[in-house]
Structure 1
Amino acid sequence: MTGPEGTRAARRAGSRPDAAAELGQTVYDVARDLRRDVAEVRLPLPVDGAAEAEASRDRLLAQLDEHLLPRLKELSSPAVVVVAGSTGAGKSTLYNSLLGEEISEAGVLRPTTREPVLAFNPADVDVIAEGPVTRLSRVVHHPGVPRGTALLDAPDLDSFLQQNRSTAQQLLEAADLWLFVTTAARYGDALPWQALERATERGAAVAMVLNRVPKETLTTVRGDLLQRLRDHGMTDVPLFVVPDVGPHEGLLDPVVVAPVRRWLSMLAGPDRSRAVIVRTLKGALGALPAWVTSLADAVETQGEAAAVLRRTVEHELPGAEKLARDAVAAGVVAGASVEARWRELSGTARVDRVKVKGDRARSTRRAGRARGAALEGLREEVTGAATRTLVASGARVEERLRAVLVGRGAPPGGAAVAPDAAARAAAREESVPATVRAWDERADAVVADLLAAGDTRERAEAAAKAFDRRGLGTLLLAAAAGSDDAARLLERVLGAAADEPTAVLREDLADRAAAVVQAEVQAVLDRLAAPDLTDDAASGLRVRLAELRRMT
């Protein structure tokens, strides 16, 4: 800590700002930037290791929020020693005995410790910093606490109340030193070792109290526990043994807890307690690179999985586009509904009974307008059939994408980006009618081009007179959709001039069908284009990692 804040901290501590200089504002800035980048990490693909990495990310955030950042910001605050353990380990009784007074509730009812208690020496009142510990705890001024330290009685780690367990974990993350209490009957349980491994993982200083040890087994139990500590690489963990004093109420005999009290006294004083703080901070900072490396690797694994998924999805596009285009080219759009409407118009409006003389249609404008009006029903049928065809093409692609992303042999993580059937159906229902309307409007433009062409103008004008301009466009749409009846009528009235506009409209519809297919594929690709799945998604973490390695 440098600047005015560091100077004030040094003045309050009554010593030179050596710790602040050692773990100063530069380290705080790096930790703050790291916290920002870690909080932004998202692991959306359920690939191997993703769940574990998310849990690790959450723990890293807790470590930064609950301990590192508050502690780096206020190094002069007393070292927080948390007394933690499992239900019935006797930690509250030990806590009270260390203080020589009933401060934290103790008894046979479980859970006993419902409210965390933080006790510190009244002489340290000016240097106690507000933070996670003070917010979560009942704060007590007590002269039995050695100066430069603060004793924290936490709820049971295995409390049957979820809130108690969560609070206990928060307080552990915020502590500078863990005083873990277990018993001769329970030291072999998984909980003590999980807690100790967690402390080691984040570089916290740890001490252990083996409570309620029968005298006849004291040597054996102590030796076994020391061996277990060595096996876990914890040879430097102080171990205090409290003998079993039998059924009792109230405080333990001062002689019983004297070794623990002497040890706490050794930590007393601004300089020595700050040494504990700095040691734990260095341990925590030293543990960060491995933690961040693991998280960055998980982010990069997400990117690699996303690349495989992109290739899988993109591989489906050419075949799906070809299938959609071929369907339009084969005339499948003009199915039974179009044929039925044509037969109706042929029988009632006699639209196909136009006279042709000398290669030109012969009709009055009045009759042409009547035919054009009658052909509106055919136009609606053709555009409706085109809409259904394009919707079906999109649905087929959606089903195929779901199969390759979720079915047997699918790449890891595919389920997270597979199309959502309801969402895609709604998207098609909105977009496809609009694209078919654009195709419908294109027909009127094609008719205008046909009437403007010099070599076909007279014949086209005669056809437009016989069917009305819009009716002529309807016939072109029907022929492009695959209606043989419409194509034969156009051939009668336009001859070879009908081929090009029909082909133009058919190709236009094929392009639109391909676009519908592309939209289905793009919807998945868009999900895979999330910033969390890019090749450089872990770059921020890698920068922070380089900064941490320069400092540790």
Structure 2
Amino acid sequence: MTTSMRTDRLLGGRSDVDADTEIGLTVYDVARDLRRDVAAVRLPMPIDGAAEAEGSRDRLLAQLDEHLLPRLAELSSPAIVVVAGSTGAGKSTLYNSLLGEEVSAAGVLRPTTREPVLAFNPADADVIAEGPVTELSRVVHHAGVPRGTALLDAPDLDSFVQENRSTAQQLLEAADLWLFVTTASRYGDALPWQALARATERGASVAMVLNRVPHEDLVTIRGDLMGRLRSHGMVDTPLFVVPDVGPHEGLLDDKPVAQVKRWLTMLAGPERSRAVVVRTLKGSLNALPGWVTSLADAVEAQAGAATVLRRAVEAEVPAAEQLARDAVGAGVVAGAAVEARWRELSGTAKIERLRFRGDQVRSSRRAGRARSAALEVLRADVREGAAHTLTASGARVADRLRAVLDGPSAPPGGSSVLPDPDDRAADRETAVPATVTAWADAADERLAALLAEGAPGPVTAAVRAFGDRGLATLVLAAAAGSDDARRLLDRVLGDALDEQVAALRDDLADRAAAVVDREVDAVLDALDSPDLTDDAATALRLRLAELRRLT
């Protein structure tokens, strides 16, 4: 037998216990998988509709947790009839009057129902299912409850106590049937219709009690309320009218509540109450595809927004990288500080005062060591200039991305993927000096490799005049854009190290582009989430297909 055939038997209300158990497990498996996938949904982008979709997801989870899964796990448990309504509607008085005993607190003090009360016939004790309702309520065995049903007195939907309102909503989600109580003076309020709309959306079965209706206005008010029910698509909703009996305490007489009692009795018995359960289950299952479709659409909208943002960010990369490379190529690294340092060294350390024999510089190793030591301050200035240039390139692209993603024409959700500016500044403060250190070390390594391969005579002579590290420092300064360092190298070496200078300049340009990429990646990483992929809604779409086969 196929899943759809077994489900048809359930929704058709078959009474065979074994078949219903098999069917319940089949539908239960689908509902359980749906619950898992809905719970996994995250909507990180604050785009239009995201907040509403999150609220819908939470309601769907509540519907699954509070009603569908517990009910599917135990189809034979009595049908739960929740008595619900707003403050002062007379719910608890009606509840007690239906039972013929003061079971739930009633009175003029608000809120009266602080603790939900669940009453069921003692004969149903062996089939009552443990679940959210029994966990939240005070459970009472009462012979006044018709067999096959359980009466639940819930807190006020508009209670000024937040905990009461939350509990009321939980209990409404768990119920098989809503007995909604309102009054002649308040049935036009927004709250009753908001609650009834939620019930209809969920596919719940609903009946309505219009309480405290003056005799002289009974026909008019009843007709008006019936018209409102029809306008809300609730043409089959049972409506019970309880006349106003004036000021009183305690239980109502049997006559005002007789019609409600008769209706509850009609629901009594395992088979008839099972019909209520199945009807609400069918309504709930039929309502699920719409909810899941909306949620899947919201997930896909998140992925679409992320794609737009990713493209906007990636579009900035070529220009930002080129700007960072151009800054290095233009020689801005060797700025005023390096020029001032060179003038100082020329005067005090006489860096440029050299002797030549033929085309090679002549120097003692002692003098070379002295020049090398003197050039350390120049190296420090070059490194500082490089760090400043790379940091500025990173800060510039960070500012540009902020303008693109959080400006007046920014795509939806852009601001949510921007990293904290202080965090990015701290990251640059740590990463850029390490990058510059690696670049400076590369100059030493290149010169060492060249010497190990057997450098030409002018290079060997220059090493003697400036030391290995000192010559590498001059190459760094020339690569950074120092004209003074470049002229000295040309004087000492001609074009022997031009390739090294160019390679180090390109290396620094690559590192500047990498700093830009690091800023971009900080944004793209926020978009690189499983919740924002093109297939993020696949699991929901699969669950949707299963639901449609079931319903």
Superposition TM-score, scaled by structure 1 size: 0.96
| Cα contact 2:21–2:75 (8 A) shared by 1 | no
SS of 2:38's equivalent? helix
Q: How does 1:449-464 map to 2 (within 5 A)?
A: 449-452=449-452, 457-464=456-463
Q: Distance in 2 between matches of 1:263 and 1:429?
A: 75
2:127 maps to which residue?
127
Q: Distance in 1 between matches of 2:125 and 2:232?
A: 38
2:12 maps to which residue?
none
2:140 maps to which residue?
140
2:111 maps to which residue?
111
> 1:450: how far off?
3.4
1:514 maps to which residue?
513
| Cα contact 2:361–2:492 (8 A) shared by 1 | yes
> 1:370: how far off?
1.3
1:481 maps to which residue?
480
1:432 maps to which residue?
432
Q: Distance in 1 between matches of 2:26 and 2:398?
A: 52
Deviations 1:433-459 (A, max 9, x none): 1111110111012212433566x5211
**Amino acid of the structure 1 residue aligned with 2:249:** E
- Aligned identity (percent) is 77
Q: Distance in 1 between matches of 2:343 and 2:111?
A: 84
> 1:343: how far off?
2.2
SS of 2:103's equivalent? coil
1:535 maps to which residue?
534
Q: Distance in 1 between matches of 2:153 and 2:349?
A: 94
1:5 maps to which residue?
none
| Cα contact 1:450–1:501 (8 A) shared by 2 | no
Q: Distance in 2 between matches of 1:65 and 1:346?
A: 81
**Amino acid of the structure 2 residue aligned with 1:193:** W
2:503 maps to which residue?
504
Q: How does 1:61-72 map to 2 (within 5 A)?
A: 61-72=61-72
> 1:21: how far off?
4.5
| Cα contact 2:289–2:544 (8 A) shared by 1 | yes
> 1:498: how far off?
2.7
Answer with 361-370 or 222-231: which moved more.
361-370
> 1:23: how far off?
4.0
Indicate the RMSD between aligned Cα atoms, in angstroms: 1.6
1:31 maps to which residue?
31
Q: How does 1:260-299 map to 2 (within 5 A)?
A: 260-299=260-299
**Amino acid of the structure 2 residue aligned with 1:481:** A
**Amino acid of the structure 2 residue aligned with 1:505:** L
Q: Distance in 1 between matches of 2:529 and 2:296?
A: 16
1:226 maps to which residue?
226
Q: How does 1:156-195 map to 2 (within 5 A)?
A: 156-195=156-195
Q: Distance in 2 between matches of 1:502 and 1:284?
A: 74
Deviations 1:497-527 (A, max 9, x none): 1321111000000000000001111111111
Q: Distance in 2 between matches of 1:354 and 1:231?
A: 102
Q: Distance in 1 between matches of 2:42 and 2:53?
A: 10
2:85 maps to which residue?
85
> 1:432: how far off?
1.2
1:7 maps to which residue?
none
| Cα contact 2:76–2:274 (8 A) shared by 1 | yes
Gaps in structure 2 of 5+ consecutive residues: 1-14
2:384 maps to which residue?
384
**Amino acid of the structure 2 residue aligned with 1:486:** A
| Cα contact 2:369–2:467 (8 A) shared by 1 | yes
**Amino acid of the structure 2 residue aligned with 1:498:** L
Q: Does 1:252 align with 2:246?
A: no
| Cα contact 1:19–1:278 (8 A) shared by 2 | no
SS of 1:500's equivalent? helix
Q: Distance in 1 between matches of 2:274 and 2:19?
A: 7
Q: Distance in 1 between matches of 2:103 and 2:209?
A: 20
1:3 maps to which residue?
none
> 1:344: how far off?
2.2
Deviations 1:525-550 (A, max 9, x none): 11111111110000000000000000
Q: Does 1:415 align with 2:390?
A: no
Deviations 1:211-250 (A, max 9, x none): 0000000000000000000000000110000000000000
1:74 maps to which residue?
74
Q: How does 1:283-432 map to 2 (within 5 A)?
A: 283-432=283-432
SS of 1:38's equivalent? helix
Answer with 498-507 or 337-346: which moved more.
337-346
2:11 maps to which residue?
none
1:6 maps to which residue?
none
Q: Distance in 2 between matches of 1:20 and 1:349?
A: 98
| Cα contact 2:208–2:239 (8 A) shared by 1 | yes
> 1:19: how far off?
6.7
**Amino acid of the structure 1 residue aligned with 2:522:** A
Answer with 347-356 or 405-414: which moved more.
347-356
Q: Distance in 2 between matches of 1:146 and 1:335?
A: 92
**Amino acid of the structure 2 residue aligned with 1:269:** G
Q: Distance in 2 between matches of 1:140 and 1:354?
A: 106
Superposition TM-score, scaled by structure 2 size: 0.96
> 1:18: how far off?
6.1
| Cα contact 2:56–2:295 (8 A) shared by 1 | yes
SS of 2:495's equivalent? helix
| Cα contact 1:401–1:419 (8 A) shared by 2 | no
Answer with 322-331 or 441-450: which moved more.
441-450
**Amino acid of the structure 2 residue aligned with 1:29:** D
Deviations 1:142-189 (A, max 9, x none): 111111111100000001111110000000001111000000000000
> 1:357: how far off?
2.8
Q: Distance in 1 between matches of 2:239 and 2:527?
A: 52
**Amino acid of the structure 2 residue aligned with 1:27:** V
Residues 159 and 23 (structure 1), Cα distance of their counterparts in 2 relative to 1, 3 Å cut:
farther
Q: Distance in 1 between matches of 2:362 and 2:103?
A: 110
2:8 maps to which residue?
none
| Cα contact 2:47–2:413 (8 A) shared by 1 | yes
| Cα contact 2:405–2:411 (8 A) shared by 1 | yes
Deviations 1:79-128 (A, max 9, x none): 11100000000000000000000011011111111111111111111111
> 1:354: how far off?
2.3
Q: How does 1:45-64 map to 2 (within 5 A)?
A: 45-64=45-64
Q: Distance in 1 between matches of 2:491 and 2:446?
A: 19
Gaps in structure 1 of 5+ consecutive residues: 1-14
Q: Distance in 2 between matches of 1:43 and 1:396?
A: 30
**Amino acid of the structure 2 residue aligned with 1:109:** L
**Amino acid of the structure 2 residue aligned with 1:226:** M
**Amino acid of the structure 1 residue aligned with 2:28:** Y
Deviations 1:128-147 (A, max 9, x none): 11111011111111111111
SS of 2:375's equivalent? helix
SS of 1:234's equivalent? coil
SS of 2:496's equivalent? helix
Q: Distance in 2 between matches of 1:382 and 1:365?
A: 25
1:205 maps to which residue?
205
| Cα contact 2:35–2:61 (8 A) shared by 1 | yes
2:3 maps to which residue?
none
> 1:27: how far off?
0.8
Q: Distance in 2 between matches of 1:67 and 1:137?
A: 15
Q: Distance in 1 between matches of 2:418 and 2:176?
A: 46
Q: Distance in 1 between matches of 2:75 and 2:344?
A: 90
> 1:406: how far off?
0.6
> 1:381: how far off?
1.4
